[in-house]
């Protein structure tokens, strides 16, 4: 999947992956895609809730046993 910026939140626990994601989203334009790499198992639930609450679109989630990679499209009216 194509993306415009990557945020590596590996090794960080809640709420730091979400905070890093918010910072990364502020650094890209509307409709661009942010890739976030996380290792915290609760990040799946956290990023789903974050996207629902903020209007950003979770396009895709890749998982391995230890890593979760989120592709988030920035909303247009931020």
Active-site positions read 14
> Cα(60)–Cα(13) distance, rounded to whole angstroms?
21
Q: Beta strand pairing status for 68-73 and 33-38?
A: antiparallel
**3-state SS class at 43:** helix
């Amino acid at each position: 999947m194509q993306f415009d910026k990557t945020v590596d939140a590996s090794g960080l626990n809640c709420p730091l992956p979400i905070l890093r994601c918010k910072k990364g989203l502020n650094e890209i334009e509307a409709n661009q895609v942010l890739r976030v790499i996380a290792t915290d198992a609760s990040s799946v639930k956290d990023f789903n809730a974050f996207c629902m609450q903020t209007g950003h679109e979770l396009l895709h989630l890749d998982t391995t046993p230890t890593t979760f990679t989120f592709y988030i499209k920035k909303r247009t009216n931020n």
